Amino acid sequence: MTKDKSLFQKDLMSEALKQSFVKLNPKIMFRNPVMFTVEVGTAVMFFVCLWILAGEQSQGSFMYNFIVFLVLLLTLLFANFAEAIAEARGKAQADSLRKTREETPAKKITAIGKFHSGEVQLIPSSMLKKDDLFFCEAGDIIPMDGEIVEGLATIDESAITGESAPVIREAGGDKSSVTGGTKVLSDKIQVRVTTEAGESFLDKMIALVEGASRQKTPNEIALTILLAGFTLVFIIVTITLKPFADYANTPITISAFISLFVCLIPTTIGGLLSAIGIAGMDRALRANVITKSGKAVETAGDIDVLLLDKTGTITIGNRKATNFYPANGIDEKHFIKCVVLSSMSDDTPEGKSIIELAKINPSSLKMENPRFIKFTAETRSSGVDFEHFRIRKGASDAIKILSEAAGNTFPSETTERVKIISSNGGTPLVVSENEHVIGVIELQDIIKPGIKERFERLRKMGIKTVMVTGDNPLTAKFIAQKAGVDDFIAEAKPEDKMNYIKKEQAEGRLVAMMGDGTNDAPALAQADVGVAMNSGTQAAKEAGNMVDLDNDPTKLIEIVEIGKQLLMTRGTLTTFSIANDVAKYFAIIPALFIIAIPSLQGLNIMNLYSPESAILSAVIFNAIIIPMLIPLALKGVAYKPIGASALLRRNLFIYGLGGVIIPFIGIKLIDLLVSIFI
């Protein structure tokens, strides 16, 4: 997927310029009430120009009216360009994805009745149906979305995620999902198709980035209705000026009426509204998040509560050995040697971290005919037997039972050490030699670097963070405090997540959560914003309304910021657009009536050159402000976690006050330039 972040790429500009003219079609413009009325006004000015050429003398010079017509046409083209450049960026991404979705041969496993034989049939990927089985090995492109039913493989997902590092996917568990268009790098897998042809993840992604599946969000619809209401009000305002003008014996030209109307209606936000929505979806996609609707992005900007799993989100996912504690009377070197021997067959990250902490090369330790004991759920211990030695490491209660069964006592200092480690959020592993307890290994969940600062950032946003873990309450409390989360759910079951979400929602809060397993599906569906991992099960991806391609559990933080940025951008540019009207009012109204009513001179605070230059300056400024704001609409207003009230004050100051001051300066400068030619 393309990651080009430049706003105006050369290859997109020509397409956007072409679409700017195509979008002048009234059928397309009608969907935007504000800009449609501008188009009607532009059409009227075109006929006024023809009328003047036919001999009409009351509407001013042809050149003046023609310039007004051209400026109004440019206003439309600039607004269309804003939407077109946003769409073009999406289409460029879609083209990139289409190259990924090339017609890939599929090694379908032939079915015989209810059973599948081992026979493999080579067919085009388009012929695969839901529940079909196919086979992939090293070098193959995965032809369709599915779930691995057998095997394990290293997969290159860079075509989808842009991330070059390969990932491991395997049957069973929560890492069983594979995406069509990705490449198998090693091993072999058997996959069951989970989607129908044309409904794959890649197909949906292409439709989304092209804008084909984009629908206006509730907020966008509400704002469109509001802007249409403003437009209607100013139609009435403009019409009522006619009797006032007649009373003051001041003839007002059609161009003046239309210019006043176009300048007073919220053309700036009207022209940028669609581009803001498209760009919001685009920013989510560039963060490697696929959203099923724009509504989900907006909702993310309003969430109050965030549910996060402990493992892999708050912690690095694997516990690490941090300390060795020999029992009283046990030599430390001997204890560490026994620890290493007991961990030689332990391929888990925890086992490897024990050897790493011991700083002993296992190959340097000699054993005659060793018999390695694997960890089981029943024994809750592992170790090694050799010669006359039996070394075990495992849960404290398991080793205690083993030791006491042999007639040995469990040392009191070991019991105390186990309690201390547990209360500090760690996991104690007790080690025994020939059923005698010789010490304790301390394992700790390693908190991700910078995670506390990220939670503090969320707190400043006004979002409550809740950690979900299967740990006991004591350990959960310690990690929650260390990580800086606001609350935690210990010994959590799937229904506990669901109940917590329902409770928060019943109190009027919006809840977001992230998950990857089938057991997370109910909670993902219940949450207002449910983010599923791309590596997760199909059930999880279907239940959520977003999919994270990077499989990064902390991505919710970025999603929240993107959502808030979208809402802020729309709000601040609406404020700026409406604030603009103040200056344009002071520019045009005095220009219309100042000759007939000299007392209006007090309103002519800009002291513009003439009525004609005032009107021209206002409509020119009204046109050029749209392309000047396109980069802001596409990039979004900068978000800072300083609280809603502080943000509102900041944005009102910058875009509200700025929206009043900038037009005064801009119109005056344009007037100085225009006056040279009038």
DSSP type of residue 163: -
Say how far apart CA 52 and CA 72 lie, in whole Å.
18
Among 132, 140, 282, 309, which one carries the catalytic annotation? 309
- The SS3 call for residue 409 is coil
H/E stretch holding 169 reads strand 167-170
Is residue 140 a contact partner of residue 182, using CB atoms and an 8 Å limit? no
- The separation between CA 2 and the C-alpha centre of its own chain, rounded to angstroms, equals 16
Give the other-Cβ count within 10 Å of 21's Cβ.
Answer: 13
Here the tokens at position 225 are 């209705």
Here the tokens at position 61 are 């010079």
Say how far apart CA 588 and CA 576 lie, in whole Å.
19
Q: For tokens 């516990």, what's the residue?
A: 319
Give the other-Cβ count within 10 Å of 488's Cβ.
Answer: 23
Say how far apart CA 438 and CA 436 lie, in whole Å.
6
Say how far apart CA 134 and CA 122 lie, in whole Å.
9
Here the tokens at position 650 are 């900041």
Kind of pairing between the strands at 511-515 and 529-533 = parallel
DSSP type of residue 106: E
Is residue 472 a contact partner of residue 314, using CB atoms and an 8 Å limit? no
**Distance between the two ends of the chain, CA-based, in angstroms?**
52
Say how far apart CA 214 and CA 285 lie, in whole Å.
13
552 is catalytic: no
* CA neighbor of 445 nearest in space, from 427, 429, 458: 427
- The separation between CA 23 and the C-alpha centre of its own chain, rounded to angstroms, equals 29
Residues 6+ apart with CB under 8 A from 506: none
Is residue 677 a contact partner of residue 620, using CB atoms and an 8 Å limit? no
The sign of the dihedral angle between the CA atoms of 22, 26, 28, 34 is positive
Tell me the backbone φ, ψ of residue 19, rounded to 5 degrees: -65, -25
Say how far apart CA 389 and CA 139 lie, in whole Å.
48
Is residue 534 a contact partner of residue 177, using CB atoms and an 8 Å limit? yes
As annotated, the active-site residues are: 309
